[in-house]
Structure 1
C-alpha cells in the first residue's frame, strides 16, 4: 500500500458566533496592563482537516485545531512531500521522519500540530486496514464505557452559571469543569468573584459531584499560591493550567503545597516535553492534547511513562481520538467532554465538521465496535457553514 495524496483543508466557520463577554475566561495575556487580551484572542473558529489517500482506496482523516492556516502550510510544504509514495502502515517510521526533518522549527507548536494531524490520519488508515476500531489496536477495551466530565461553565452571571451546572447534573454528569474569569490584575475583587463561581457550582450540584476548575494559564505563581488555600474548602478535583506552560518549576512548587491536585500539559509537546514535567514532579494529572502533542503515536508513549510514575492522564478536549486512547489505557481514568453548543470559542467546532462523535449518556460515552479506524466521517455540504480553503 502506498500514499498517493495528502490533502489539508482549513474549515473556517462563517455562521453565527455567540458574543463573548469580558471575564469570560482568563488567559495568559490577562496580566498585561497594556492592551490585555481576552479569551476572544485565543478563540479558534477555524479547524484543519487532513485526508490521506492510498492506492488501495483506503483513506484516513486527521485534524488539528491549533493555528490551522500555519499548520496547513507545514503539511503542504514540508510533510506531504515526505509522505507521498510511502507505506501508511509504517507509522513509527513516518513519525520519526517528519519529526527529524522539521526539527529546526517543528518540535512544538504548529509544526507538531501538523505532525499530530498526519499521525491521526495514519492510525485511521491502520484501523480501516485491520477492520478494527483504533482502541483495539492500542490494546483493546479496559472498560465498557468511558466516564466523562462536562467541560464548559465559563464565567457568567451566577444564576446562569448555576442553571448550566444543574442542567449537567440532571443529564447524569457526576463531574464537571468550570473556568475562572479573573486573575492577578483584578485584585481582591477578582479573587472574590472567582470564589463566587466555585461556590455557586458547589452549592448547586452538592458534594457528590466532582468539580474541576481551569485558569487557562491566566495566573501567576504568587496569585495561584494565594488562591489555593481559598479554594480548598470547595474540594476541587484539580486546578488546571494555573500558570503558563513553560513554568514547569512553578507547577512543581504548587504541586508540592499539596492543597489541590495540579493539572496541565495541554500546551506541552512530545514525550520529551513530558519527561521534563515528570522529572520536575510538576503535575498530578497530565492533560496533553492528542492533536497537538504528536498524535496517538506520542500519546501512547507519554501515557506509558506517566503510568510508571502513577500519574493520571486525562487528555484535553472531548474528541474521538482522545476516547480511543482513554479506552485502552489504565492510566486514563476519564475523558473530557465538550457539550455541543452554539459556536462561541471554537471548542465545539468538531461537532459541526464530523459525523461519528459519541454523545454522552448519563455521564459516559461508548465507542462502537462496528466502526473501523477512528470512526469519523466529514459531514456533507459544509460549504454552507464554512469557508473551505
Structure 2
C-alpha cells in the first residue's frame, strides 16, 4: 500500500475592484439589493494537494468560502486521510462525510470534502499512470461538447448580441446567458428579461441551443410568469429559478413550464439528488463536482440520473467536471467559461490558476492522456497566492 504522507492547502486570489457584471440572485429577489453580486463571486480559491510516499501529488480545489474550507481540511479531514491509501477512496469518503455530517453535509464542509476527494482521484490516476476518466470507465468519444457560459445581462443589447455572435463564430453549438430582473422589478422586469433573451436568440438563430440562468433570483409566481413569456424562444433549459430547498416550488414550475427546468449546483450528496430526481422537480440535474462531494459522489449521482433518464450537465467548467462528462452516459455536454484576462465573477479563474485546463476549440474540448486530471498549480497574473502565515486563517 502506498501511503498518503501529506495533505496541504493553499489559497489564491484575484485582486480587483467592484464587480463588473450584474445578474439575478437571491439577495436581489429578497429586497432588490443593488450590487449584491459580490456575495456570490469566487475571487478566492483553495487548492488541496495530496502527496503519496512515492512522490505523486494530486490536486483538488474549492471556491466556496475557501478560507473556512482550509480550516475544515486542515483540522477535520487531513487527519482522516494521512497514512491511508488513495486506492481506498470510497472508505475515505465515508470517513470524511460521517465526520462532517453534524456541521457540514452542505456548504463549506462538503466543499472541503470535495476538494480532498478530487485530489485523491487525481493522485490515484497519477500513481497508476492513467487519466481519471479511465478510472471512471473510459472516454465515450474523442471530444466532449461544451457550451459557452457567460452573456451577463446588460442594457446594451447590441453588445450582448455581439458577444453571442462571437461564440457562434468560435464554433459553439450551445450557450447560456444570465437574467438580471426579478420579483422586485415589477412588470417592466419581466419584459426586460425577455428582451435579453430575444437579443441573443435573434442573433444566433434557432440552430444553436440557448439556456438561461436565473441563479435562484425568482420566486414561484415570478417563475411561472416568466416561463410563459419565454416559450417562443425555445430555451434548452431554464436554470435555478428558485432557492434550492424549494422542492415544491420546483415541482409546480416544472409542471407548468414549456421549458425544461434545471437545478442542482447548490445541492450536495447522493440522497439530495435522489429527492430532486424522484420528486419530479427537475428535467436536468447540475451537480458541481467540487460541491457535491467530489468525483466519488458525482459518479453516483450520474448513475442515478442515467437510471431515471434525466440528463446531467455539471455546473461550472473545470477539468474534474470534464472527466465526469467525458466518461458518463448521462452527461451530454459540459459548461465552459470563456477565457478572460481577468475573472469577471470568478468561474473563469481556473484558466489562470491551473496549467492544463482544457481550452475549447469549435465548441469542444479534448482531454489529454496525461495521468490523473492532467493539471498542475501554475498561477498567472492577476491571480496570486496568499501567504497564509501573513494573513491568519486561524479561526480558533
TM (norm. structure 2) is: 0.94
Alignment-derived partner of residue 360 in structure 1: 360
Alignment-derived partner of residue 394 in structure 2: none
Give per-residue Cα distances to partners, 1:148-171, cap 9 Å, x unaligned.
100000001101101100000000
Establish whether residue 220 from structure 1 lines up as the match of residue 219 from structure 2.
Answer: yes
Q: Give 3-state SS (helix, strand or coil) of 2:295's partner.
A: helix
Provide the rounded CA distance (Å) in 2 between the counterparts of 1:35 and 1:258: 28
Alignment-derived partner of residue 393 in structure 2: none
Alignment-derived partner of residue 200 in structure 1: 199
Mapped contact 1:303–1:313 kept (Cα < 8 A): yes
Mapped contact 2:213–2:241 kept (Cα < 8 A): yes
Instruction: Pick closer, same or farther for the CA change 1:175–1:103 going to 2, 3 Å.
Output: same
Provide the rounded CA distance (Å) in 2 between the counterparts of 1:387 and 1:102: 26
Provide the rounded CA distance (Å) in 2 between the counterparts of 1:37 and 1:239: 23
Deviation, structure 1 residue 29? 1.0
Provide the rounded CA distance (Å) in 2 between the counterparts of 1:206 and 1:381: 37
**1:13-32 alignment runs, 5 A limit:** 13-14=14-15, 16=16, 19-21=19-21, 24-32=22-30
Deviation, structure 1 residue 313? 0.2
Deviation, structure 1 residue 254? 1.2
Provide the rounded CA distance (Å) in 2 between the counterparts of 1:353 and 1:17: 19
Q: 1:139 aligns with which of 137, 143, 165?
A: 137
Establish whether residue 128 from structure 1 lines up as the match of residue 126 from structure 2.
Answer: yes
Alignment-derived partner of residue 77 in structure 1: 75
Provide the rounded CA distance (Å) in 1 between the counterparts of 2:111 and 2:190: 35
Deviation, structure 1 residue 381? 7.0
Mapped contact 2:352–2:379 kept (Cα < 8 A): no
Give per-residue Cα distances to partners, 1:70-102, cap 9 Å, x unaligned.
111100110111111111211000000001111
Provide the rounded CA distance (Å) in 2 between the counterparts of 1:320 and 1:350: 9
Instruction: Pick closer, same or farther for the CA change 1:286–1:140 going to 2, 3 Å.
Output: same
Alignment-derived partner of residue 247 in structure 2: 248
Alignment-derived partner of residue 40 in structure 1: 38
Alignment-derived partner of residue 5 in structure 2: 4
Q: Give 3-state SS (helix, strand or coil) of 2:298's partner.
A: helix
Q: What RMSD, in angstroms, separates the aligned Cα atoms of the two structures?
A: 1.5
**1:341-352 alignment runs, 5 A limit:** 341=340, 342-352=342-352
Deviation, structure 1 residue 213? 0.1
Mapped contact 2:172–2:363 kept (Cα < 8 A): yes
Moved over 3 A (4+): 16-19, 34-37, 380-386
Deviation, structure 1 residue 302? 0.5
Using the TM superposition, name which of 355-364 and 24-33 deviates more.
24-33
Provide the rounded CA distance (Å) in 1 between the counterparts of 2:212 and 2:32: 27
**1:150-189 alignment runs, 5 A limit:** 150-156=148-154, 157-189=156-188
Give per-residue Cα distances to partners, 1:114-151, cap 9 Å, x unaligned.
11000000000111111110001111111110111000
Instruction: Pick closer, same or farther for the CA change 1:296–1:384 going to 2, 3 Å.
Output: closer
Mapped contact 2:49–2:59 kept (Cα < 8 A): yes
Deviation, structure 1 residue 27? 0.4
Q: Give 3-state SS (helix, strand or coil) of 2:245's partner.
A: coil
Mapped contact 2:45–2:62 kept (Cα < 8 A): yes
Mapped contact 1:320–1:357 kept (Cα < 8 A): yes
Q: Give 3-state SS (helix, strand or coil) of 1:318's partner.
A: coil
Provide the rounded CA distance (Å) in 2 between the counterparts of 1:343 and 1:383: 9
**1:231-380 alignment runs, 5 A limit:** 231-341=230-340, 342-369=342-369, 371-379=370-378
Could you tell me which runs of 5 or more consecutive residues in structure 2 were left unpaired when the two chains were aligned: 389-396
Count of residues paired in the alignment = 385
Instruction: Pick closer, same or farther for the CA change 1:345–1:355 going to 2, 3 Å.
Output: same
Mapped contact 1:252–1:282 kept (Cα < 8 A): yes
